[in-house]
Every structure is written in C-alpha cells, then in structure tokens.
Structure 1
Amino acid sequence: MNKYFLLIFISIFSLSFAQAQEYSFGIKGGANYSMTGEIDGSTSGGAGFFDGIVEGKPKVGFHAGVFFELNFGKFFVRPEVIYNSMEMEFEFPLQNSAYSVEKLSIPLLFGYNIWGPVDVYAGPAYQNIMNANIEGTQPINQTIIVQNTPLAIQAGAKVSLGRFELGLRYDRSMASQETQGLDFDNGQYGINLTEYDDLRVNQFLVSLSFKIGDSESNTGRRRGRGCYF
C-alpha cells in the first residue's frame, strides 16, 4: 500500500507540474492540538488496583515542514512534507503519564480559492510513525501501535498575507479503532493492567507558512527570478 500511494503521489505531482500555470514553494511551522482515546483499568482486578477509565488529555505540540504549490487558475495542488511532534497526557491516580508521538506526514492537498486571499483544501496524507511511547509502561518504552494503516485525510483553510499564509486544518487517521493491552508500574502510577481503547491520534494544526519563491519575479530584493531574497 505504501508503494502504491507514493507512486500515485509522484504521478499526480508530475502531471500537475507539467500543466501548472504558476507555482510557489516555502517553509511552514506551527502548533498541533492532538487527541487520542482512553485507557481502561478494569482489567487489573483485585483489591487496591485502580479500575476506572482515564481519558487522554490533549496537549500542544509542534510541526515543521516544506510545501510546493501548483496553481491552475482558482484551483491548486499542494504537496507537503511535515514533521509532527504530538503530545497527550493521562492523569493516573499517583502521577501523570505523558504520551508522545512523532510522525512524518506527506499530504497531497487539492484546493480552491473561494475569495480573495482565502483558500480551502482537502486531500490524503501518507503518515509514517517514527516513535510512540507512554511513560510508565512495562517493559520500558513498550511499542505503541498508533495506527494500522499509513493513510490519513486532511482538510482545512488558509489565508494569504503577502509572503505569509495562516492556516488551520484537521488531520484524521484512516485507521480502524484498535485496542492494545498495556502494563503500568502500579507503584509509581497507581494503575496496573489496562486496555488502551482507541490508539488513533487525530489533531488540529495551526500553521504559519512563508513563501520563499514562486514562478513570477518579485519587485523587491531577490537573488534570482521568483525568489524573495
């Protein structure tokens, strides 16, 4: 599936580049607000063990990457490569446990200019989980199966402000809901055997993009055609 997606991605990009009227490229970065499922301690059993449910609380993470946009009048195609650092937290009886996920995302977005500086877009994204761990699991650094497919869907809007763009999007995993058994250090966290009820991580992203160059010359300072420096 990974190879097919990348092949389709390259094919669409190559065809779009050949047909594009204008293009631009640049860098981007911003904050993520990530959401996940809950941990159920009812499988611990026995007196003295916590058997309640603890919901994953969103925390703010960050992302950074690059983009390349191809324009066809009011329509555009925008491939990106983004590194995401996502954080969530579980408030266990004795102390909190941080849940950290790092992933590389390659979205292929299809957009439309609805009015002036305002664009909307949506598209698929290939996502590779680089690292995922929850504090307090036994064995230490137990592998967390975040998703059973590398595919996600993204949708959002952006506003152009000269060389800058301000964007908001929702990133949702296409994985099915899965559970995973986890064993925590009861002495430190006050919870023992559990089931993680929904391993998927979805997020909202607020981004600031900077356009480094484009297909048109700029009247300001530049080193070459289409570059803003």
Structure 2
Amino acid sequence: MKKTLLTVVLAFIGMATFAQKGTGFGIKGGLNYNQNGDLTYSVGDSGNDIVQGAEGKAGFNVGIFGQLELPIIYLRPELVYTNTKSSYDIDGGSRDYELSSLDLPVLVGIHILGPINIFAGPAFQYVLSNDMDGFEMEDVKNNFTVGLNLGVGINLGRLGLDVRWVRGFSENEANFIDENVTNISGRVDSRPNQVVFSASIKL
C-alpha cells in the first residue's frame, strides 16, 4: 500500500511540474461538510443490530495543485490533506467520528462562461487515521480507495474559488468497541460524502 501511495505522489509531482511549465501551480485550502455512511452497532449480547445514519459536521482541507491549460479543457491534479467529521447517536449519546486522509483528485475541467468553469474526475484517497469518541477503533478495511469529484469554480486572476461534491464509490468499514466495558460494538462506513468549499492561489 505504501508503494501505491508513493507512486501516486510521484505521479502528482510529475504532473504538477508539467503544469507549472504551462499554466500554474499553487496552494489551496478550505472547509468541508461531510456525512460518512451508516453506522451499525449492538449493545451487549442482544444480537439486535441498530443502524444509525450520520449527522454532517464541518472539517477542513489544505493542499497544493497544478493546472495545465489545453486547447479546450484543462487538467488539474491536486494533493490535499483532508480532515472530516461526522456525528452518530449511539445508545442515546452523540459520538464524533473523525477521519484524516491524503487525497489526490485528478480533475478535467472546461471554461463555460468567462471565469466560470465546471470540472469532474476521480479522487484517490489514502486514509491516514480514524477516531471516534469513547471507542477503540480498528483501521479501515481499505486504506486506499477511489471516489468522484464533481464541481464548479470561478477564477478571479490568481485567486480561484470552487465548490464540489466528493463521494466514495464503495463502502469502507471500520470496526469499533467500547473502550471501557466493551458492551457496545459495531462498524462504521468511512466512505466520504461531502460538500467542499475551497479557495486557491496560483504562485
């Protein structure tokens, strides 16, 4: 898995360097509003699973990007550190689930009207850590996953603003147990489903 991540990062560096020779290279950051997938848990030996949907919470993202303008479209690879949060009601108490990841969106966009553009592309995610209040968490099932980015942006000189929807393609569960008396156990789908607001600056 580490070799896969290294290959992805090296590919990004190569693309970003190429883009720097063309149109631009810069930094970006912003806020995201995320809802992970369902959480399933049971209490004691009841054997009855309870399915709980997530309540979205705010997180953040920060990273770098390269952009290469082509005759009709543009290519924009990004390397982004992302922190997401969701909240679940477990046995009458609210618990926050937090996940940190290294994301590599590879976007293809088109300018549609003046400074306005639309874009889409795959997003490769490597999960760095996950944590939930009051529970002992196992690692997610797959550290490396693929999702989709779809969004719209506006360029104002060197400044860019965009909003996008980010969705993981498949479930990526992590198991958990109660840290204290182990009477609650279950699993949570860490797949992202988020709206991301970002600002970027070309250097």
1:192 paired residue among 161, 184, 190: 184
Deviations 1:138-195 (A, max 9, x none): xx3x224164643222121111122211101122223x3255543225779xx71334
Corresponding residue for residue 224 of structure 1: none
Once residues 64 and 172 of structure 2 are traced to their aligned partners in structure 1, the CA distance between those partners, rounded to angstroms, is 32
Once residues 146 and 169 of structure 1 are traced to their aligned partners in structure 2, the CA distance between those partners, rounded to angstroms, is 26
Corresponding residue for residue 105 of structure 1: 103
Deviations 1:25-60 (A, max 9, x none): 2111110111112223346444xx996432221100
TM-score by length of 2: 0.81
| Amino acid of the structure 2 residue aligned with 1:160 | N
Indicate yes or no: 2:15 matched with 1:17.
no
1:14-93 matched pairs, under 5 angstroms: 17=18, 22-42=22-42, 44-46=44-46, 52-93=50-91
| Amino acid of the structure 2 residue aligned with 1:17 | F
Deviations 1:94-130 (A, max 9, x none): 5321111111111211111111101111112221111
Higher strand fraction (1 or 2):
2
Kindly indicate whether the alpha-carbon contact (under 8 Å) linking 2:124 and 2:145 is maintained by their aligned counterparts in 1: yes
Aligned residues: 201
1:166 paired residue among 161, 166, 169: 161
CA distance 1:180–1:127, change in 2 (3 Å): closer
Once residues 75 and 120 of structure 2 are traced to their aligned partners in structure 1, the CA distance between those partners, rounded to angstroms, is 10
Corresponding residue for residue 140 of structure 2: 145
Greater Rg over alpha carbons, structure: 1
Unmatched 5+ stretches in structure 1: 213-229
**What RMSD in Å do the two structures reach over aligned CA positions?**
3.2
CA distance 1:60–1:144, change in 2 (3 Å): same
CA distance 1:194–1:158, change in 2 (3 Å): same
Unmatched 5+ stretches in structure 2: none
3-state DSSP of counterpart to 2:18: helix
TM-score by length of 1: 0.73
